[in-house]
Structure 1
Amino acid sequence: MKRGSYRAKAVVLGSIDFGESDRILTFYTLEQGKITGIAKGARRSKKRFVGNLDPLTHINIGYFHSDKSELVRVEDASIIDAFSSLKTDIERLSDACYLLELTSELTREGQVLPAAYHSLVAFLKLLEAGAGPEALRFFEVKLLEQSGYLPHLTGCLSCRATFDRERLYFSSAKGGLVCRACSSGITGLIPVSPGTAALLSMAARLEPDKLGRLKPSPAFLDESERLLYDFIKFQLGKELKTRRFMAKLKNAQA
């Protein structure tokens, strides 16, 4: 990014307090991808930044990039969408925060992915409209595709055979599907039906508005969650904090 002032549409992914009055935040922009910046005096601001820099807020933001710092300096921000209804329901809030954390973890600073920005905004709106767990699965596979991490879902990695009714297996370490004949000796395999594999592969190519109209089966939701959760954890080398919280919340509600 060249030195100068910029304006962008962005979603605030996260923020931390810094010093007595400042705030460091990470936001995902349409024009420049993921950016980390500092908002001087944000915690004391009564007008310029009040509520505008909270995580899970869609904003218009003005910032300045200097060659002397890795952090941009946030100058101003105005709210496009505060996603207020997501913030009043603990389950939907945790789902939304998962999308934010996943976006932050699967993208790099300086990597401009307009499709990732559009998907994030679209799926947050789907959650706000009442979408269920299918929205999380479809967002995962879309973001994996957009960020270059999408596993192989269209045939056996080893023999390239296509699938019809045969039971398949997914290997996070191998990065995709293997057939029964090629699965011998591979550990950590996850059973997957051909229908689940086909829908995930299709979901990676469809626009969010079309995905929002799909109502997949409970079997798909079960299999796809196991597969994608295992693969994302393998790629990142860790479990996301929001996933741990979601698991605790689910257990508490059981």
Structure 2
Amino acid sequence: MLHRVEGIVIRSMDYGEGNAIITLCTENAGKVGVLVRGAKKARSRHAALIQPFTVGQFVFFRNNGGLGTLNSGEITESHHPLREDLVKAAYSCYACELLDRVLHDEETGSFWFRQLAACLTALEEGKEPGVIINVYEMKILQAAGYGPQLEQCVICGQERPDDQLLISPRLGGVLCRSCKHNDPPAMEISPRSLKLLRLFAKLDLTRLGNVDVKADTREELKKVMRAIMDFQLGLRLKSQNFLDQLDKYNI
């Protein structure tokens, strides 16, 4: 059966002599694997289609599920600048790998596609990558059913002043100091960072403007979101390790 989809290349790997297999996050067909014959050979007309972060129209044959075989394709957005910049490439790889690990094969819904597309566009436009990724992570958590509870204490359900709240990555939300005994390692969080997390929970990446966040707040948000992601999703991503190395050397 012939399929025509709009998709984003979230993974590309060599296969056999001169071939490649790409994984697409599509708008209406979920996550799809497609074999691209001859893509690695010189002068291949499909060489550009297998590049990570590429957005395009893909036409492929597939029978009864499984791997498809590309027939033709047309690029609508190459995102070439993302591959030329080390930092942008690192964050883009993380966004794609995270979605690849969370999204099940052929899980439908345009939400995943739209959020990734918006994330890559924002990174290419030069918006603060740490903030972009934190908003993206929040959208991933929410869509996967792990969105944190940020308004009331996850234990007693009471609303407290922001300066009396902690954040519990293990319990998945804010914790008042009266309930801290339920999770002694709960993290301190500043009212400013908590307000931004609430904003991230309400924002849609497709409508994100410029968000000005101070360096110390960005660092706090990164630590909090990393802890929440680790506890709630428990993923170990190669791209995250690379981002950690960039942080280590202040790149």
Give the alignment's TM-score, normalised by structure 2: 0.90
Give the count of matched residue pairs.
250
- Measure, in 1, the Cα distance between the counterparts of 2:60 and 2:42: 16
Cα distance in structure 2, aligned partners of 1:31 and 1:107: 13
**1:77-128 deviations in whole A, cap 9, x for unaligned?**
2211111112111111111111111111221112123122111111211111
**Could you list the per-position Cα deviations for residues 177-227 of structure 1 after superposition, in whole angstroms to 9, with x for gaps in the alignment?**
211111114244222233323322232222225433222333432222112
The letter of the residue matching 1:154 is E
2:85 match: 89
The code of the aligned residue for 1:129 comes to E
> What corresponds to 1:10 in structure 2?
7
Q: Of 156, 173, 186, which aligns to 2:170?
A: 173
**Shift in CA distance, 219/252, structure 1 to aligned 2, threshold 3 Å:** closer
Aligned match for 1:193, one of 190, 193, 200:
190
Q: Which amino acid aligns with 2:68?
A: V
| Pair 1:253–1:79, CA change in 2 (3 A) | same
Instruction: Using the aligned pairs only, state the percent identity.
Output: 26
Deviation at 1:45, TM superposition (A): 6.6
Instruction: Give matches, 1:23-62, under 5 Å.
Output: 23-44=20-41, 46-62=43-59
Q: Map residues 153-164 of structure 1 onto 2, 5 A cutoff.
A: 153-164=150-161
Among candidates 164, 179, 201, match of residue 182 of structure 1: 179
- C-alpha distance in structure 2 between counterparts of 1:87 and 1:110, whole Å: 27
Match of 2:98 in 1: 102
Aligned to 2:226: 229
CA contact (8 A) 2:12 2:23 kept: yes
How much has 1:57 moved relative to structure 2?
A: 1.0
Amino acid at match of 1:17: D
Which structure has the highest helix share of the two?
2
Q: CA RMSD in A?
A: 2.0
State the one-letter code of the partner of 2:20: R
2:140 counterpart SS class: helix
Q: Is the 8 A contact 1:8 1:31 kept in 2?
A: yes
For structure 2, the 5+ residue unaligned runs are: none
Q: Whole-Å Cα distance in 1 between the matches of residues 67 and 175 of structure 2?
A: 44
Partner residue in 2 for 1:113: 109
8 Å CA contact retained: 1:171, 1:177: yes
State how far apart, in whole Å, the 2-side matches of 1:239 and 1:191 are: 24
Give the Å deviation of 1:43: 2.1
Matched, 1:147 2:148: no
User: In structure 2, what is the Cα distance between the partners aligned to 1:47 and 1:89?
Assistant: 25
- Distance of 2:26 and 2:51 partners within structure 1: 15
Task: Give the counterpart letter for 2:165 in structure 1.
Answer: L
Stretch of structure 1 that moved more, 189-198 or 176-185:
189-198
